[in-house]
Amino acid sequence: MSSARDLFHRNKTRIKNFGEVFTLDTHVKQMIEQLSLHSKGNEEIWSDEKISFFEPTCGHGNIVEGIFEKRLNSFYQKAKISKNPSPEHYSIANALNTLWAIDIDDAGLLG
């Protein structure tokens, strides 16, 4: 079964009006891996609360979702290692607080 993350485009009108062609999930995962590689394998970029991410053309949120998952996991691991008493709260709060996304089309999100 395919999901929103496998969607490549919805229709030609939306491609014409908004340039709406989605990045496939496999490519989103590769982009996230590339970011780790460009940081010389430094996975700590994902659990650094001082780093925020901004997706200026988020569409239905596929890249945002990939970044959120990666950061949630990384913040959680960091919290566990440092014996944070509330790793779930710490990871959700920081993953949300450091991720921003906008899109020109407020009907871009899929239900």
Ligand X SMILES: C[S@@+](CC[C@H](N)C(=O)[O-])C[C@H]1O[C@@H](n2cnc3c(N)ncnc32)[C@H](O)[C@@H]1O
Q: Which residues are at the interface with ligand X (CB under 6 A)?
A: 18-23, 56-59, 62-63, 102-105, 108
Cβ-proximal residue to ligand X, closest one: 59
d(CA 45, CA 50): 9
Question: Which H or E run includes 80?
Answer: helix 62-81
Residue 53, both tokens:
């991410």
Write a three-state SS string for 85-103: CCHHHHHHHHHHHCEEECC
Which residue reads 């925020």 in tokens? 52
Q: Closer to ligand X at the Cβ: 92 or 101? A: 101
CB of 68 to ligand X, least distance (A): 14
CB of 18 to ligand X, least distance (A): 4
Q: Closer to ligand X at the Cβ: 23 or 77? A: 23
CB of 8 to ligand X, least distance (A): 9
